[in-house]
Structure 1
């Protein structure tokens, strides 16, 4: 579990395919790597990856075919800058929102404009994610916890404050850039609860189980 508050911007040192999967080597500072152990989870541009090898200033992680199919990782090359966040500790402050590191889809940056000292981004989201995106709701973009300004059709707009633009990769995005999107977990669970409740009511209305049926099969006595 993560918060969407980026700790550091790292760099892809190397990327290669291995038996259909991808292997990443990510460069980071010594201060970021302090305390990192084999098997730890690190969010790389919002993708939860497991540390499989490490050194003083880098770590290695495997990317499954399933993960690469739902992200833009296969298009990465050495030198690409990436947002890094270590997994949330229970004692830490939750400054962003709950982020699982399971990317829901890939969006596209449609426009980037200056808005006073901030940046205003317009991002097109996949159609299947739109029902989870609401104005003033939370969304994760390349691992960064952000608040949605508004939604119009398949587009959403977001404001990036100067600190976020400087301390993450978002300030360097260009029109046409692909970004990882993870919708708010609460939106997904709310939809699931409503679906199950609706299904339960529907089943209750159409159920063929009655007192007579139960009595006939020995489960009920009047």
Structure 2
């Protein structure tokens, strides 16, 4: 698990294609992995990958064919910058929200405009993900935990403050760019529970008792 609070920005140093999947060498800097362990999980651009080896100033991770098909990783090239976060420890502060690193789909940047010192982005999610995204809820974009400001169909807006723009790759986004999206973990489980008739919880019941708008 992760929090969506990026701790470093790395870059793809090498890509080795292997029979449908790939092995990446990621330059992260020595400080990021000063006490790294083989087998640990690292969020790379929002994708949970396993460190299989360490190099001078970085680490190596395998990317499965499934991950390549479902994320932006398929389009990464050498030199591409990626947000990095090591896995959450139980004693850590939860500064963002609970993030699994299991990307739900690829979204598109619709527009970007200045709003004071911040930047407001409109993004479009794949239609099957749209109903998971709620105003004032949480979403992960390329591994960064953000608050959803507005929702209109499959499009949603976020406000990104100067610190986040400077210390993550989000400051490089432009209209037409593609991003990894992970919806709120709790929303996925809630939908699954609502689909189980035997527990007696359904949309009409929640509406009747004021949990949902009529």
Match of 2:193 in 1: 193
1:112 and 2:112 matched: yes
**RMSD of Structure 2 on Structure 1 (CA):** 1.2
Match of 2:73 in 1: 73
Match of 2:91 in 1: 91
Deviation at 1:71, TM superposition (A): 0.4
**TM-score between the two structures when normalised by the length of structure 1:** 0.88
Match of 1:207 in 2: none
| Structure 1 runs, 4 residues or longer, greater than 2 Å off | 198-202
1:126 and 2:138 matched: no
User: Any unmatched runs of 5+ in structure 2?
Assistant: 202-214
1:40 and 2:33 matched: no
1:30 and 2:66 matched: no
Match of 1:205 in 2: none
CA deviation profile, 1:10-49 (whole Å, cap 9, x unmatched): 0000112112111111001111011111101000010000
Query: Separation in 2 of the partners of 1:146 and 1:114?
Result: 17
Question: Is the 8 Å Cα contact of residues 8 and 85 (structure 1) preserved in structure 2?
Answer: yes
CA deviation profile, 1:173-201 (whole Å, cap 9, x unmatched): 111110000000011111111111x2555
Map 1:173-212 → 2, pairs under 5 A: 173-196=173-196, 198=197
User: Any unmatched runs of 5+ in structure 1?
Assistant: 203-222
**TM-score between the two structures when normalised by the length of structure 2:** 0.92
CA deviation profile, 1:130-168 (whole Å, cap 9, x unmatched): 110000000000000000001012110000000000000
Query: Separation in 1 of the partners of 2:54 and 2:74?
Result: 22
Query: Separation in 1 of the partners of 2:98 and 2:199?
Result: 29
Larger C-alpha radius of gyration, 1 or 2? 1
CA deviation profile, 1:91-147 (whole Å, cap 9, x unmatched): 110000000000000000010111000000010000000110000000000000000
SS at match of 1:15: strand
